[in-house]
């Protein structure tokens, strides 16, 4: 019989996995800027820096947008795992799937810069972010569900990833129906806290009505 991994070994395995995940995120962000670096070759007698910036505005916009998206997703992942001491196979698998979405994101980002007005590009770009967000929700669910070893009690609310995915899908629908708005509808993600407050209030009211309590008496 093969020896079982000790608690210290499980903790070290998790540290190695998180180091790998952080490295993947760093590489993905680096890949975002490489197309911009290649543009510098166009600067010469016929093309000034000002012209380069003007003609490639879409590329710079795609870079900034994807940089913000990856950074936001990394912070969500970091908060979900900050109290985890030792993981399990399900958590490891979810993290690998999440890194896949991050590694893939530079591809639709490049498409945004070159063919951002096409519906397929918008679906691919927003769809990748939505899948990444949903996977992080499952990671949070595994952690808070007591399936892994943590150094603090955790809580989870699947409303958070579901609301963010819903906002992404609403943004995608607007982008497809009203192409002139470009990718600006993605800023709807900034409304997630307001939407969550409304939904949680409705949930408390519904729960109170079911047990016969006056609305607003629960914390």
User: What mean pLDDT do residues 136-160 have?
Assistant: 73
User: What mean pLDDT do residues 140-169 have?
Assistant: 75
With a cut of 60, say whether residue 6 has pLDDT above it: no
Residue-wise pLDDT for 44-79, tens only, equals 766 777 777 777 777 888 888 889 888 988 888 888
Q: Where are the domains of the chain?
A: 7-210
Q: Does the pTM exceed 0.75?
A: yes
Report how far residue 200's alpha carbon sits from residue 163's, in angstroms, rounded to the nearest whole number.
Answer: 11
User: What mean pLDDT do residues 150-179 have?
Assistant: 81
Residue-wise pLDDT for 186-205, tens only, equals 888 888 888 888 887 887 77
Judge whether 140 and 172 are in contact, CB under 8 Å: no
Tokens (6 digits) for 90: 């399900």
């Amino acid at each position: 019989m093969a020896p079982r991994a000790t608690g210290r070994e499980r903790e070290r395995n998790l540290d190695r996995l998180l180091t790998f995940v952080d490295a993947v995120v760093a590489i993905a962000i680096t890949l975002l800027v490489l197309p911009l670096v290649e543009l510098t070759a166009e600067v010469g007698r016929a093309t000034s820096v000002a012209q380069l910036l003007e003609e490639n505005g879409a590329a710079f916009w795609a870079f900034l947008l994807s940089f913000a998206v990856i950074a936001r997703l990394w912070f969500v992942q970091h908060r979900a795992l900050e109290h985890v001491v030792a993981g399990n196979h399900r958590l490891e698998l979810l993290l690998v799937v999440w890194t896949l979405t991050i590694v893939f994101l530079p591809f639709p980002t490049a498409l945004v810069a070159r063919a951002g007005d096409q519906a397929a590009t918008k679906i691919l770009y927003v769809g990748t972010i939505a899948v990444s967000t949903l996977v992080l929700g499952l990671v949070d669910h595994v952690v808070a569900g007591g399936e892994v070893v943590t150094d603090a009690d955790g809580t989870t609310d699947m409303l958070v990833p579901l609301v963010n995915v819903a906002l992404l899908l609403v943004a995608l629908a607007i982008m497809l129906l009203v192409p002139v708005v470009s990718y600006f509808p993605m800023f709807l993600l900034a409304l997630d806290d307001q939407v969550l407050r409304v939904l949680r209030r409705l949930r408390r009211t519904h729960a109170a009505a079911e047990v016969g309590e006056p609305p607003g008496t629960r914390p």
